[in-house]
A = this chain, B = another copy of it.
Amino acid sequence: MKVSTLLGSSHGFTDGILPEACSSRTVLDHVTSKWGVLVIVALSEQMLRWGELRRVVEGVSEKMLAQTLKTLESDGLVLRDAHPVIPPRVEYSLTARGRELADRLLPLMDWIADNADAILAS
């Protein structure tokens, strides 16, 4: 079902835009969490190791990165590939589903990057 059909002057929309406490809201919260978007975008280009992610996603703490990755992994958006070597080597990449998400996220991010200054100026 398309969100864009949930509303409509012809329907009267007595129901809301996405019912409260539905699965879409939960996923939306995961994806639009403070670091979720940035991690997805970072991984959209290439697989990255833990330490690389920490550097690339500027400002994220270890705790938040671990938490974000765990959520995204359990959502099936990010793949965690741990090599049992010493020192540990863990590689993160997008799953097919994660790449679908990234495809829809990147245009948004590009638009934001283009318009951010104008938006804050007003």
Question: A-side interface residues toward B, CB under 8 Å?
Answer: 1-4, 7-9, 13, 16-24, 26-29, 31-32, 34, 37-38, 41-42, 44-46, 55-59, 74-77, 97, 100-101, 104-120, 122
What residues of B have a CB within 8 angstroms of the CB of A34 in the complex?
29
| Interface pair B106/A119, CB less than 8 Å apart | no
How many copies of this protein are present in the complex?
Answer: 2
Docked Cα-Cα span, A111 to B119, in Å, equals: 26
Distance from A72 Cβ to chain B, minimum over Cβ atoms (Å): 10
Contacting pair B37 A119 (CB below 8 A): no
What are 29 A-B contacts defined by CB distance under 8 Å? Answer: A3-B109, A3-B113, A4-B106, A4-B110, A7-B46, A8-B45, A9-B45, A9-B46, A13-B56, A16-B57, A17-B42, A18-B58, A18-B113, A19-B58, A24-B109, A24-B112, A24-B116, A26-B116, A27-B116, A28-B112, A29-B34, A32-B37, A74-B122, A75-B119, A76-B119, A76-B122, A77-B119, A97-B119, A104-B108
Nearest B residue to A9 by beta-carbon distance? B46
Closest to A52 in B: B13
